[in-house]
Structure 1
Amino acid sequence: HTKNQQVIKKGEKKISEYILKVLDHYKQDDPVGIPDAPIPDPLSIPPLAHSFSVGKMNFKDVKLYGLTKFRIQHVKADITAMKVETALTIKTLNVIGNYTLSTWLSRANGPFTVKLTDVYVKAIATLEVKKNGQLEAQDMNMDITFKEIAMDFKGLGFFANMFQGIINSVGTFIFDSIKPFILREVNTNMTKDVNEQVRKIPQKFPNSISPFDQLIADVRHRIRNAKLDPYIVNDYNNNVGIFDIYMSHTWLYGLSSIHRVGDIIFEIKNNTVHALLEVGTQRMEGKSHWEVSLVAGLMSKAGTVDFSVEYLRVQVVLSQTMDTRNPPKLEDIQLELGNIQVRFDGAGTVDYLVEFGINVIPNLLRYQIMDALESPVKQRIQEVLNRLNVEKIIKENVDKIDNPSAIEFL
């Protein structure tokens, strides 16, 4: 059994420690970068050479400063597709080094600075489940652009005026030349770091099922264990015009057929995580007792009805600030019931009471089921969220990520 256990080497950072560090970082009003991000700052660039009509320029000792000073503008994670899209902004990046300019007339050399302003980084990353059930980050698809560029070359002397004409092409050349190094370095380091951390998670995932679907499978199991399938729906009384209708002993079978419907999307905007989850059931069956009577109780008919509900869908939007001291919020919840079909028993002779019942009972069942589920589901979610002390939960459970025997909490 110990083979599967990932032993965390001495001196190696635990994921749990890293998570707590990141959470503390996001308690700031304007968090910049991420603690211990595996991005070199400064990033060393190999020597570059650039030829143009009047001569040649060589650049050496080139370093790029500021890569770790990013702000997260937007993150969108599609959990089912295991894909993450990220947009980061960096106020300024500085390229600093030494140049030599050689022409047939003479030479100039000295230090130079290229300042890039309003830098925008876009990245798309994907996770895959390998054959052994381990999650693995794939290569990232990245691009980096900027709004403005400013250059300063010291020691140009005689070339200063002549150089003005070609200075823009030099700045763009430097950026275009260092861009592949930035992308390669960030891609390699981030992918390597993510995989090192993911490998420490002892949980294995079947490669035919996404981690979230596995979680839903666990919810199905919990619904059965909590004896919520079949589900007893509250009795329902309604009067329509001169009729009273009473629905009782209503049972609904099939809540545990819950499964994912659509994608699960997490978005980070303005330091808040928004989660959109949509789950649904398969076709559900049910049984109910019905009684229709005139208001005065002069006449009444009763019987049972079998019904089927095409599906129940629940769409939930939750939000949680990156500062985990704040509680999560239920932003929105939508419940949708599919088509309801009914089969009557005990109708006996077809008279106006029965005909009335046949016409209104499907709608009453819809109200009864929605009534029985909507408020409790909303209330239950909100109650759970209100009780959640996210920071405390993370701190109490975070070490379990490092511990294979305690991974059941997932």
Structure 2
Amino acid sequence: MVLKTICLILSVTALIGSGIYVRAQEEADIDYDSPNSIDDHNVKATENRLAAQLYAVLEHYKQEDPLGFPGAPIPDPMDVPDMKKSLGMATLTMMKVKAYGLSKFRIASINADLKAMKVEAGIELDTMVTKGMYTLSSFISKANGPFTVILKKVYVKAIASLQVQRDGHLTTERIKMDITFKDMSMDFQNLGFLGTVFQGIVNSAPNLVFDAMKPFMLQEADKKLREEINNNIVKLMGDKLLPNSITPLDMAIAEGRKKVREMGYDPYRMPDYNRTVGVFSMQMSNTWINGISSFYRVGDVVVSMENNTVTLKVKVGTQQIAGAGQWEVGCGLVSRVGHVQFTVQHIRITVSVSQALDTRKRPVINDLQIDLGNIQVRCDGAGTLDYIMEFVVNILPNILRYQIMDALENPIKMRIQEKFNTIDVEQAIKDNIDKFQADGKMSFDFKI
């Protein structure tokens, strides 16, 4: 389930960043007299564009140092509104300003708290160049001409949060951004006499020019980012409404519980077990487990990305798990048959799984912690041995369960990693892209 979530995140990342708009691409083939034909064409066009986008993302992150994002609607150059800044003895006006190099960004980190619907991202730019025209006016003189500002090692920090409105629509609640840099150089041409005055002002406040541009750049970026996020939410959610009494994450978990029951995993029938050693034999049959679908979220669910690797950290727990089955023990020609009932107070699992954006690499399980609640077993059919078995099972595992779990966690983790090593994530995503193009659905069913 965790791995499916990561692969789904990888698959829809392209849609989140792409700002795909439905456009009719082959107008000559559309029957405009038929609304259904237009709708069908638009749906198919969107599916084809999304599939192409996903393929482009898969190839993009095979690079050693991927810059930008395929299909990201980032204007380069970006128009910056005209601005005016008082410098004390003079007034600086900057016009026809354009910022270059924005599409050559590098995603440094992403941290998404799915419960709080909050995302924090860090983006790096090696160089950002701003060009335009300026006018520097004072009571003594006036100068104007072209200017260039070069910023090095630019870092953009953005925090975005979503909320469910009263009408049930998911939308952007707040976006907060800041821009910092490590080095800056400027070239204002035709300053003339004002050059000395301007240079003195800049030397005393080196960030003055950048601080004048910064609010306008952030305002423009906020506007475009908000529009793109809301547009993509509409594309992902459609007309679906969400309750504002429960978080979308918990609603998704509730849907997951329902899905587990629909798929026949709760109650779940365990495979029959047979073991024979010499004249001794043991058989467990008709064993059913109830309560698997009672899982719920414990704490936050965090998805992060750093060094081009997506990591999912999640802690889930279950309510009481109960089971019952039939056992048979034999020794030569003598056998005894009985029934066993057991309950586990709860199971809590903390897991951290990561997947490189270069999907040729295999997923990795980073951490696994298992916590078992009280174990109770009732056994009948073995006579006096029933009491001995109940004592051994009910007392010893509860006393030593922490030591038992510590001893089991690493072998279980190694076994899971062995299974992960057999998964071709890239091929799984490609197969589901084809499936999405065929029937508009995407799901992951790994055969491990």
With normalisation by structure 1, the TM-score equals 0.76
Aligned pairs (5 A) from 1:145-160: 145-160=180-195
Distance 2:325 2:411 in 1: 21
CA 1:203–1:62 in structure 2 vs 1: closer, same or farther (change >3 Å)?
Answer: closer
Q: Where does residue 53 of structure 2 map in the other structure?
A: 18
1:8 aligns with 2:42: yes
Letter in 2 for 1:71: R
Q: Number of matched residues?
A: 392
Q: Could you tell me which of 209, 217, 237 is aligned with 2:255? A: 217
2:393 aligns with 361
Q: Helix, strand or coil for the counterpart of 1:320? A: strand
**1:312–1:335: 8 Å Cα contact kept in structure 2?**
yes
Alignment partners' CA distance in 1, 2:148 and 2:166: 48
SS of residue paired to 1:8:
helix
Distance across 2 between alignment mates of 1:315 and 1:7: 45
Matched, 1:283 2:335: no
Aligned to 1:201, the other structure's residue is in SS state: helix
* Aligned position for 1:392: 427
CA separation in 1, counterparts of 2:309 and 2:176? 24
CA distance in 1, matches of 2:166, 2:421: 40
Once the two structures are superposed, the pairs formed by residues 143-222 of structure 1 within 5 Å of their partners are 143-168=178-203, 172-201=207-236, 207-208=242-243, 210=248, 213-214=251-252, 217-218=255-256, 221-222=259-260
**Cα separation, 2, equivalents of 1:72 and 1:140:** 18
Report % sequence identity.
39
* Matches for 1:262-273 after TM superposition, within 5 Å: 262-273=299-310
**Match among 101, 108, 132 for residue 73 of structure 1:** 108
Q: Distance in 2 between matches of 1:373 and 1:321?
A: 24
Q: Say if 1:277 and 1:203 are closer, same or farther in 2 by CA, change over 3 A.
A: farther
Alignment of 1:255-404 (within 5 A): 255-287=292-324, 306-342=341-377, 357=389, 359-362=391-394, 363-364=396-397, 379=415, 382-383=418-419, 385-398=420-433
Report the equivalent of 2:148.
113
Alpha-carbon shift at residue 29 of structure 1 (Å): 0.8
Show the counterpart of 2:440: 406
Q: What is the SS of the residue equivalent to 2:431?
A: helix
How far apart are 1:82 and its partner, in Å?
A: 2.7
Task: Provide closer, same or farther for how the CA distance between residues 374 and 194 of structure 1 changes in structure 2, counting only shifts above 3 A.
Answer: same
**Using the alignment, how far apart are the partners of 1:7 and 1:130 within structure 2?**
32
| Structure 2 gap ranges (5+) | 1-35, 276-281, 330-335
Larger relative helix fraction = 2
Q: Relative to structure 1, is the Cα distance of residues 7 and 103 closer, same or farther in structure 2, using a 3 angstrom cutoff? A: same
TM-score, normalised to structure 2, is 0.71
Residue 53 and residue 401 in structure 1: after superposition, are their counterparts in 2 closer, same or farther (change >3 A)?
same
Q: Cα–Cα, structure 1 residues 177 and 88, in superposed 2: closer, same or farther, change >3 Å?
A: same
1:44-103 CA-partner distances (Å, limit 9, x unpaired) = 223323333433332222222222222111111222333221111122222222223333
* Conserved 8 A contact 1:234-1:372: no
1:367-388 Cα deviation digits (max 9, x unpaired): 9x979999679746752x3343
Contact 1:201 1:401 in 2 (8 A): no
Distance 2:109 2:127 in 1: 18
Structure 1 residues 354 and 14, CA, compared in 2 at 3 Å: closer, same or farther?
Answer: closer
Cα deviation per residue 1:330-377 (whole Å; 9 max; x = unaligned)? 23322221122456768988xxx887655432234869x979999679
Contact 1:233 1:252 in 2 (8 A): no
**For residues 302 and 364 of structure 1, what CA distance do their matches in structure 2 show?**
24
Identify if the C-alpha distance between structure 1 residues 400 and 123 changes in structure 2 by more than 3 Å, giving closer, same or farther. Answer: farther
SS in 2 for 1:407: coil
Corresponding residue to 1:254 among 286, 291, 297: 291
Q: Residues of 1 paired with 2:258 and 2:410: CA distance?
A: 19
- State the 1:233 CA deviation: 8.4
Separation of aligned partners in 2, 1:34 and 1:212: 30
Deviation string, structure 1 residues 197-227 (Cα, Å, up to 9, x no partner): 3433367655135257536634653466355
Aligned to 1:141: 176
Higher alpha-carbon deviation: 113-122 or 218-227: 218-227
- Which sits farther off after the overlay, 214-223 or 19-28? 214-223
Shift of the alpha carbon at 1:307?
Answer: 3.9
Unpaired runs of at least 5, structure 1: 238-245, 293-300
Distance change >3 Å, CA 145–CA 58, structure 1 → 2: same
> Alignment RMSD, CA only?
4.4
Give how far 1:287 is off: 4.3
Shift of 1:269: 0.8
Tell me, yes or no, if the aligned pair for 1:220 and 1:258 is still in contact at 8 Å: no
Give the corresponding residue for 1:241.
none
